[in-house]
Structure 1
């Protein structure tokens, strides 16, 4: 598995949209990239995937630069665009199929794989519909199906859940998790705290600078104290029925009564056009 490396990247268009950003998007992990609008999320994904040339710095995958001088991404990269990038006059299945045909997959096989990809997002029944007839959430899932069907080892998704309800958001996150578990680099730009919480890593941008890098609590190592040894059971001696019974002794001031109640604590706790910022 190969990580995607971003090294001291700066991007200036009149003003700095990214300023010295350096990070690594690891393979086999689901990574969130958050930040307010205009923070540079979309620009960073565009540069990381080879759509834009950085003003300074570099990006690399498997030892080779991502920028190839043309603005065309390397075949190892798939994007899920915030504006979907779908062709309105084509059907949902055709929009997915063309991504496979562009990579040399024969037409019939491409159509079959496209239909399977739509089924992953529960929209197989919409395969024959023209995109312009679909809702925003349905178009978003078509774009996701197109991005995932090619099996690229680098998947960059910009706001892939922005139009989805909670159920479909969970479905999408499960599919993105599946891609990461198979060893892909999967990066999700998002405003949604629930999406951030579902990811393994979190990078935050603000005004083009990296301001935070965290791992969710559920991934941090938990150090537990060793369990106390179990008490040794001791058989009680049989009482002598002839022995006198001692009266109960009330507690002294230094020996407070044990509480009769307990309290339970809470156990714990896609793409604007390149250069447009986050």
Structure 2
């Protein structure tokens, strides 16, 4: 498994955020974290990323250099072009510029923003910036992609492009973990993990089955 959590608990400021969470994520999987606001989804992403040390339990994850974050406020070089931003991850990892830019353009095409390659980022709309951020995570070739509400500011067409792009990253071998309230995003994932009050209460493996029809493990369907 690429990522393994065993009996993980997180306590911050005297408040229990996660408790007794066990989760295993393999390469090539897409995993949706769903649940109400404040349930612990973003905290769990931080633990999976290795950015947040748990108060209890054990975590095995990839080195930080092998992971990429997509968040609503993903920082970008606003005075540089969209292409410069998307190529940044690969360049930082030591890729030759020509190869990094070729990969960046491919990722931008998948997100429908290749025509914006030469535009400076500060001229882009919020939705365009978000798609540039997703393209950057794809182009970096990371083994683990973590996304916190990646479609929150997007219209239906842009949301569909992001869903397809994340699926493409998984088919290339990356593990993709998405915290989301968007049922379209969750329905596209191989697995759905439900979190409530810091507890992992369901993990379903039903790719392509609408979220509202998925059953908790161990339950039986109607006869």
TM superposition score normalised by structure 1: 0.69
**C-alpha distance in 2, partners of 1:117/1:196?**
22
Q: Which has the higher helix share?
A: 2
Write out aligned runs for 1:94-105 (5 A): 94-105=84-95
Change (3 A) 1:168 1:59: same
Give the unaligned 5+ runs of structure 1: 67-72, 220-278
Change (3 A) 1:92 1:178: same
Residue equivalent to 1:48: 48
Report deviation, 1:86.
Answer: 1.5
**C-alpha distance in 2, partners of 1:44/1:55?**
12
Change (3 A) 1:217 1:180: closer
RMSD: 2.0
- SS of alignment partner, residue 75 of structure 1: helix
Q: Which has the higher strand share?
A: 2
Q: Which has the larger radius of gyration?
A: 1
**C-alpha distance in 1, partners of 2:90/2:174?**
18
Residue equivalent to 1:35: 35
Residue equivalent to 2:6: 7
Residue equivalent to 2:141: 151
Change (3 A) 1:97 1:181: closer
Q: How many residues align?
A: 209
Give the unaligned 5+ runs of structure 2: 210-223
Change (3 A) 1:180 1:112: closer
TM superposition score normalised by structure 2: 0.85
Report deviation, 1:218.
Answer: 4.6
Q: Which runs of 4+ in 1 moved over 6 A?
A: none
Provide Cα deviations, 1:8-66, integer angstroms capped at 9, x if missing partner. 211221112222211112322221111122111111111111112112222214xxxx5
